[in-house]
Amino acid sequence: MNHPETASAGAGKSAFHRGERAVQQRAGVLEKMAARSQVIRTAMPDQHREFFSQLPFMIVGSVDRQQQPWASIMTGPPGFVGSPDAEHLRVHAHALAADPLQQNLAANAAIGLLGIEPHTRRRNRMNGRVEQLDADGWTLKVEQSFGNCPKYIQARRPSTVDNASVAAPQVHRADALDGAMQQLIGSADTFFIATAFLQEQSADGEAGEGGYGADVSHRGGKPGFVRIDDAKTLTVPDFVGNFFFNTIGNLVVHPRAGLLFIDFASGDLIYLAVTTELIWDGPEVASFAGAQRLLRFHVEQAIRVEASLPLRWGAAEFSPALEPMGAWPA
């Protein structure tokens, strides 16, 4: 949902852009979702404002100058994110070393936020634009605020570590997945995906369908649910969700995404820039129990930063929603 017009803005205006509506129609839930537009707000309720303020990290989606989305993580002591009013979030933090967010934060930049507390399986989403950027951090103007269900979240609790001595963490850049990247990704039970809906221009130069925004979302599965087909290709099942189809709807219109993988034990981070192929049905989809469709990611850029994250997590309690789901190989 990267469309600034929400149901609360007036009758007849959809909270969903054409890509999301197309996928909802394909899934047979278009009418049902039109009736649920009231859950998408143009300001944050108090419980969302309080939730963001208690988090030690949040996930950020942004878009670079080449229209490539990237998924990132920002950290700080609880309170590093605050809400001075229901229409703004203030972030007192800076992007981590080698994170593409360093270059993507700019005045009026479209940003997607995911506040997630894994050990309680709570998560809330917020999409907006950078209104202020200064030496202390940045302020985001809210365009959309909405909650997400706890499905597929692995319960793990973070703790802070002192990695101040890592002044210049090792950074590995490639256009394909090296061995260390494949090892982390192949055992992952969680990743984050950033997508974007880009404003179109008509032939006369006027803006087409309104809206330009970034979005970022969580994906969880049994360890190994991200299949490594080769050093340039990943395949992932897409499970049933809330039928908003924010991510899939964005990919229908703009098939590029940013993926973030976290090594919860070491603090290593992998940022991937990918193009995406949607596999709607067929024997490959049917071979993975619980998959509604598949996402095939073609890697364009890969960045691995060693021990970048000043957080560590213990063992995970896997989501009970994953019990009926399949695994690779089928």
Architecture of domain 7-156+167-308: Roll (2.30)
For the record, the structure tokens of 311 come out as: 């957080």
Q: What are phi and psi of 65, to 5 degrees?
A: -70, -20
**Comparing 19 with 204, which gets the higher pLDDT?**
19
Q: Which residue has the tokens 């959309």?
A: 144
Query: What is the maximal distance between C-alpha atoms in the chain?
Result: 56
Residue 3, pLDDT score: 45
Cα–Cα distance for residue pair 287/301, rounded to 1 Å? 29
Residues 6+ apart with CB under 8 A from 283: none
Res. 248: pLDDT tops 80: yes
For the record, the structure tokens of 56 come out as: 């030690």
Q: Which residue has the tokens 């649920």?
A: 36
Q: Measured between alpha carbons, how far is residue 125 from residues 239, 261, 268, 322, 327 in Å?
A: 19, 19, 24, 22, 28
Res. 6: pLDDT tops 90: no
Residue 13, pLDDT score: 66
For the record, the structure tokens of 256 come out as: 């590029």
Percent of the chain with pLDDT over 70: 91
In contact, 257 and 236? CB cutoff 8 Å: no
Q: Which residue has the tokens 């221009």?
A: 201
Q: What is the mean pLDDT of the chain?
A: 91
In contact, 303 and 273? CB cutoff 8 Å: no
In contact, 308 and 169? CB cutoff 8 Å: yes
**213-220/227-230 β-pairing:** unpaired
Res. 199 pLDDT band, cuts 50 70 90: low
Domain limits, the chain: 7-156+167-308
* CB contact burial 215-227 (16+ within 10 A = b; e otherwise): bbbbbbbbeebbb
**Comparing 276 with 35, which gets the higher pLDDT?**
276
Helix, strand and coil content of the chain, in percent to the nearest 5, comes to 15, 40, 45
H helix runs in 108-220, sequence order = 179-186
